[in-house]
Structure 1
Amino acid sequence: MTIRLRAHHLLCLLTYVGKGYSPAFTANYDGIAERLSRGEDILIVSGPDDVCAPLLDEPQPHCLRESAVERDRLAAADVEELLARPIRIGARLDLDAAILARMRQAFSAGPVRKACGGCEWNELCSAVAAGGYRDTRVQRSALAGKR
C-alpha cells in the first residue's frame, strides 16, 4: 500500500511521538507511523491526506486553511532541495533509513524548517529533535532492512 501525505507532513513525521489533536487523530497517526516503519512508500498529494483524515469531520478543519497549503509549499521546496529530487504532487518517496536520517539531521540543524513557523507543535518538535528523536514513532531500525 501507499501512504498519501501532503508535503509538510514529511516534516511532521520526523518528530511524531504520539501526541495529536484528538485520540482519533493519534490512533490514525500511530497506524501511519507503523506503516512507514514497515517500509510503505509515500505519495505526495495536495490538500488533506491520510494524516488529516480524522480531522475532516470538524466544522473548520485546519487542514483546509491556506496556512496548511503554504506549509506544504515551503516544506516541498526545502525537502526537494535537501534530497535533490522532486517533491511535487504525484511524486513518490521511499522513506528508507538513510533518507530519514538525512531529513532528521537537516530538521535538527534548521534548514528544512521554514514550514514550521507559526505551527502550534513547533516547540514540541524542537524538543523531540533536541532529544535525539527519542520515542519517535517512525523508527530507523525498522527501516534499516528495507533496501
Structure 2
Amino acid sequence: MYKLRGHHLFCLLGYRGMGYSEEYVKNMTHIHQTLKSNPNTLVQLVKGPDQLCEKYPNSGEYHCQDQNIYERDAVILEKMDLKIGQILKWEEIESRVRKHVIPTDIHSICETCSWRSYGVCEQGIERIHGGKGLWKVE
C-alpha cells in the first residue's frame, strides 16, 4: 500500500519521468509503474508529506509543507469525493478521475504548479478518460 497526498494523485496521472532529482525520479517511477502494472494496488490518502515527498531533495525550500500545497491537496480530494485516511485501489482513483475531473481542471486547481506548463497532467487525465491508464515510463 502506498500513502499519497491529494495533489500527487494528479501528478501521477501526468508523470513522464521528470522530477526534482535522480532519487526523486527513481522513487516516483517505481510507485508510478507499480500502479500502472497493478491497478489493484492500495492507496491510503494522507494529509501532508507522503511517500513521494520522502525523496524530495534537501536543497532549498521544502515545498511539501507549504500551505498552498495543503490547499491543493484538499481541493483535489474534494473534487474527487475522497477523504483523508481513505484506502482504495488505484483503479478506483482512476474511476473517480473519469467521473469527477476534466483536463481543464488542471488550469485552475494547479495554477501555481511549476510542472503545469508542460501540459502532461491534462494529457494524463485525457488518457484516463480514454481508458488507457497511466503512461509507460522507463
Normalised by the length of structure 2, the TM-score is: 0.77
Change (3 A) 1:77 1:112: farther
- Aligned-residue sequence identity (percent) comes to 28
User: Cα deviation per residue 1:21-69 (whole Å; 9 max; x = unaligned)?
Assistant: 1111111000101221223111000111011111163453111111110
Alignment partner, residue 94 of structure 1: 89
Q: Is the 8 A contact 2:20 2:57 kept in 1?
A: no
Alignment partner, residue 8 of structure 2: 9
Counterpart among 70, 95, 109 of residue 115 in structure 1? 109
Q: Is the 8 A contact 2:23 2:55 kept in 1?
A: yes
Alignment partner, residue 65 of structure 1: 66
Q: Is the 8 A contact 1:24 1:54 kept in 2?
A: yes
Q: CA deviation at 1:131?
A: 10
Q: Is the 8 A contact 1:72 1:115 kept in 2?
A: no
Task: Provide the rounded CA distance (Å) in 2 between the counterparts of 1:119 and 1:29.
Answer: 17
SS at match of 1:107: coil
Task: Provide the rounded CA distance (Å) in 1 between the counterparts of 2:65 and 2:25.
Answer: 19
Change (3 A) 1:113 1:101: farther
Please, which runs of 5 or more residues in structure 1 have no aligned partner? 81-86, 139-147
Please, which runs of 5 or more residues in structure 2 have no aligned partner? none
Listed as ranges, the matches of 1:1-147 within 5 Å are 2-37=1-36, 38=38, 39-55=40-56, 57-80=58-81, 87-96=82-91, 99-100=93-94, 103=97, 106-108=101-103, 110-111=104-105, 114-126=108-120, 129=123, 133=127, 136-137=135-136
Aligned length: 129
Task: Provide the rounded CA distance (Å) in 1 between the counterparts of 2:125 and 2:4.
Answer: 25
Normalised by the length of structure 1, the TM-score is: 0.73
- Report which stretch shifted further, 30-39 or 121-130: 121-130
Task: Provide the rounded CA distance (Å) in 1 between the counterparts of 2:8 and 2:125.
Answer: 20
Change (3 A) 1:130 1:29: closer
